[in-house]
Structure 1
Amino acid sequence: MEKLLEVKNLNVSFQTYGGDVKAVRGVTFDLYKGETLAIVGESGSGKSVTAQTLMQLIPKPPGKITGGQILLEGQDIVSKSEKEMESIRGKEISMIFQDPMTSLNPTMKIGKQIMEVLIKHQNMDKNSSKARAIELLKLVGIPMPEKRVNQYPHEFSGGMRQRAMIAIALAANPKLLIADEPTTALDVTIQAQILELMKDLQDKMNTSIIFITHDLGVVANVADRVAVMYAGQIIESGTVDEIFYDPRHPYTWGLLASMPSLENDEEEELTAIPGTPPDLTNPPKGDAFAARNQYALAIDFEEEPPLYQVSNTHFVKSWLLHPEAPKVDPPASVKRRIRKLSSTFEQPILVEGGK
């Protein structure tokens, strides 16, 4: 597969009265054409900052890229000026934000907001851009698009506003679509519809997607690969099967164990990850997750772990992968969750030992 995006050792910090917050620390990943990469983690893990940095949307100051490269089809966009980025945003990279009500212009009709993108990036005239706006509203599943194109955001439901946001994001046929928690403000039924819509649109348009979320369960049927972020770093990455069925990092175990189940299972109770993320104005000396990790080794508090390769696609930043580290199995709650996921998605899974 051909690479669309290469992020290499990206570092982003924010100036505050308490010192520089190192929000993104050495993030590296690739994205291939037509692929969906999910970036997951708790609030404050750096996933949204990473996404906004890809579009150069972090406020400068206080935000600043302190190192690294963002290569879009081989071109480093970190060095691009704001004027150059204006021609890239929307046309090459588009973004769907978390809350469409605050992202859409409440004083402008939905159709006109779509038309603006078409006129700027596709050089369409007013009539042809309006016709295309109607087509896009129809494409994203909005009924009566001829009528809806002349309505304002407040006349749309939450799910329809998010569909309209997707229509705006796709208007210029971008190569990369970044979806920053696009279903968080929606109820579960509408969430499922939006996720199914994005999957369908990707198949039709062959757009690459970066999907940002705090909920591992949301990406199970959407993503091709998953990157798990913690304290500004990617601590585990792999295919969906590897992350869901063969997780190796204790933080990933915690995320899986905290996923709610739709089944009424009296044996199962949600397991919260103890403690809170570290203060990134002064990142910990060793492994950032050590203080919350019941499996932490002495070296975790002294030295940052390297990235260990489990397979060609699976990488884990944990000292537990060191050849001389004691063998630690996932807790029983995680094994039960893996079994349930296995039966849900009809994947044969082997779990050693435990219940």
Structure 2
Amino acid sequence: MEKILEVKNLELSFHTFAGEVKAIRGVNFDLKKGETLAIVGESGSGKSVTTKAIMRLLPESSSEFKNGQILFNGKDLTKLTDKEMQKIRGKDISMIFQDPMTSLNPTMTIGKQIMEPILKHQNVAKSEAQKMAIDLLKLVGMPQPEQRMKQYPHQFSGGQRQRIVIAIALACNPKILIADEPTTALDVTIQAQILELMKDLQKKIDTSIIFITHDLGVVANVADRVAVMYSGKIVEIGTVDEIFYNPQHPYTWGLLSSMPSLDVQEEKLYAIPGTPPDLLNPPKGDAFALRSEYAMQIDMEETPPFFKVSDTHYAATWLLHPDAPEVTPPATIIERMKRFPNSRYYESANGGILK
């Protein structure tokens, strides 16, 4: 498939009173046309900063691109002026933020707010923009869209406000839609509706989606590929089945083991020990080593490169080095691996396990 976005060796820092925070440390990934890429990880791992860097929404006074490229349609977004980015932001690349109430202007009707990007980026009359806004509200499943156009954000429920935010993001048929934890502020029932809506919209408008979340349960339903982030780096990337059923990095094992499951009758839910490292002074070697029971001496000294698991699956862990000792993943991970044909623990039809 055609690549619509490429992030190459991106490094970004924040300048604070305490010093330089190395927030993004050599991130590489691409986004293909029509696919959904989920970026997952704990809070503070760099997910939102990466996508805000793509949108160029970080404050220039305190943030700095140290290295790398963000290539969209052959243009490096890190080199564009703010005026040049304004032509791309909202038109070619749109973003859905976490809290719909803070994304909407409480003093403007939602009709005006949906029409605003249409009038700015498309050469249409106000009457045409109004018709397009009504069609967008219909598209996102808003009842009585003509009447709702005249109402204000406080007159809607949380789920309805998120639908309005999605309508605004889709106003100019963007090539890339970035969704930054769009369901976190919603209850479980509404969350499921919004996720189903996004899957349906992607088929209708053929856009590419970057989906940011810390909820792996959400990922399974929406993503084609998954990138796992930790401490400002991507540590594993692969198809959704590869990440869920054949994970290779100990951090991915920890994230998956901490997910509640109806299949596992454990009294306690697993929690990854320790806390993420301080990026004012990033650790030498593998940043996850101090929290991992599988860490080796080399993890403390050298940063692991990406090792190839398959043509679509890569993980940055020394455990995949040919000379690394054999380790046994947690029992919950082995149970997952039994369902994946290319896993070393795959449970064959006759009941045997291949190692």
TM-score (norm 1): 0.94
> Aligned to 2:310, what secondary structure does the other structure show?
coil
SS in 2 for 1:220: helix
Distance 2:264 2:243 in 1: 23
1:317 maps to 316
Once the 2 structures are TM-superposed, how far is the Cα of residue 341 of structure 1 from its aligned partner?
11
Asked if residue 223 in structure 1 is aligned to residue 223 in structure 2, the reply is: yes
SS in 1 for 2:98: coil
CA–CA distance in structure 1, aligned partners of residues 181 and 187 of structure 2:
13
- In the alignment, what sits opposite 2:22? 22
CA drift at 1:260: 1.8
Distance 1:77 1:147 in 2: 39
Partner in structure 1 of residue 271 of structure 2: 272
Q: Which residue number in structure 2 is paired with residue 328 of structure 1?
A: 327
Contact 2:347 2:353 in 1 (8 A): no
| 1:218-246 CA-partner distances (Å, limit 9, x unpaired) | 11021110000000000000000100010
CA distance in 2: counterparts of 1:287 and 1:265, whole angstroms = 30
Instruction: Name the amino acid aligned to 2:222.
Output: V
| Partner Cα distance (1:133, 1:226) in 2 | 33
The answer to whether residue 274 in structure 2 is matched with residue 298 in structure 1 is: no
- Post-superposition shift, 1:340? 9.1
Q: What's 1:3 paired with?
A: 3
**3-state SS of the aligned residue for 2:169?**
helix
Partner of 1:95: 95
Aligned to 2:33: 33
Shift of 1:78: 0.9
Query: For residue 233 of structure 2, what is the amino acid of its counterpart?
Result: Q
- C-alpha deviation, 1:205, in angstroms: 0.7
Which residue does the alignment assign to 2:170?
170
Q: Is the 8 A contact 1:257 1:337 kept in 2?
A: no
The structural deviation recorded for 1:128 is 1.0
Distance 2:340 2:97 in 1: 29
8 Å CA contact retained: 2:284, 2:302: yes
What is the correspondence of 1:228-247 to structure 2 with a 5 Å cutoff?
Answer: 228-247=228-247
* 1:268 CA displacement: 5.6
Say if 1:245 and 1:349, in contact at 8 Å, map to a contact too: no
Does structure 2 conserve the Cα–Cα contact (< 8 Å) formed by 1:98 and 1:181? yes
> What letter is aligned with 2:275?
T
**Partner SS, residue 222 of structure 2:** coil
Matches of 1:339 and 1:107, distance apart in 2: 55
Measure how far apart 1:353 and its partner are.
6.6
Between the aligned partners of 1:231 and 1:210, the Cα distance in structure 2 is 19
Separation of aligned partners in 1, 2:241 and 2:352: 17
- In structure 2, the partner of 1:202 is 202
* 2:246–2:340 Cα contact (<8 Å) kept: no
Which residue does 1:285 correspond to in 2?
284
1:5-64 Cα offsets, whole Å, 9 max, x none, are 000000110011111001100000010100100000000000000000001001112111
For residues 77 and 234 of structure 2, the distance between their equivalents in structure 1, rounded to whole angstroms, comes to: 21
1:349 positional shift: 8.4
Measured in 1, the distance between the counterparts of 2:329 and 2:136 equals: 46
RMSD: 2.0
Q: Hey, what does 1:131 align to over in structure 2? A: 131
Q: TM-score, with normalisation over the residues of structure 2? A: 0.94
Please list the CA deviations of residues 163-198 of structure 1 after superposition, one character each: whole Å capped at 9, or x if unmatched.
Answer: 000000000010000000000001111111111111
Q: Secondary structure at the match of 2:254?
A: helix
Structure 2 partner of 1:248 = 248
Give me the whole-angstrom Cα distance separating, in 2, the residues matched to 1:276 and 1:169: 35
Contact 1:70 1:76 in 2 (8 A): yes
Asked whether the equivalents of residues 23 and 46 of structure 2 are also in contact (C-alpha less than 8 Å), the reply is yes
**Cα distance, 1:265–1:26 mapped onto 2, change above 3 Å:** closer
Instruction: Report the alpha carbon displacement of residue 272 of structure 1 after superposing the two structures with TM.
Output: 0.3
Report deviation, 1:216. 1.1
- Name the SS of the counterpart of 2:64 in structure 1: strand
Give unmatched runs, 5+ long, in structure 2.
none
- Residue in 2 aligned with 1:190? 190
Separation of aligned partners in 2, 1:56 and 1:131: 30
The answer to whether the 8 Å contact 1:35/1:209 transfers is: yes
Return 5+ residue gaps in structure 1 as ranges: none
How many residues of Structure 1 are paired with residues of Structure 2 in the alignment?
Answer: 349
Q: In the alignment, which residue of structure 1 is the partner of 2:60?
A: 60
Q: 1:352 Cα deviation (Å)?
A: 8.7
SS of the residue 2:327 aligns to: coil
Determine the C-alpha separation between the residues in 2 that align with 1:142 and 1:53.
Answer: 32
* Aligned residues with identical type, % of pairs: 68
CA-CA distance at 1:334 after TM superposition: 2.5
Partner Cα distance (2:340, 2:161) in 1: 32
For 1:156 and 1:340, the matched residues in 2 are separated by 43
Aligned-residue offset at 1:309: 0.8
| Whole-angstrom CA distance in 1 between matches of 2:257 and 2:241 | 16
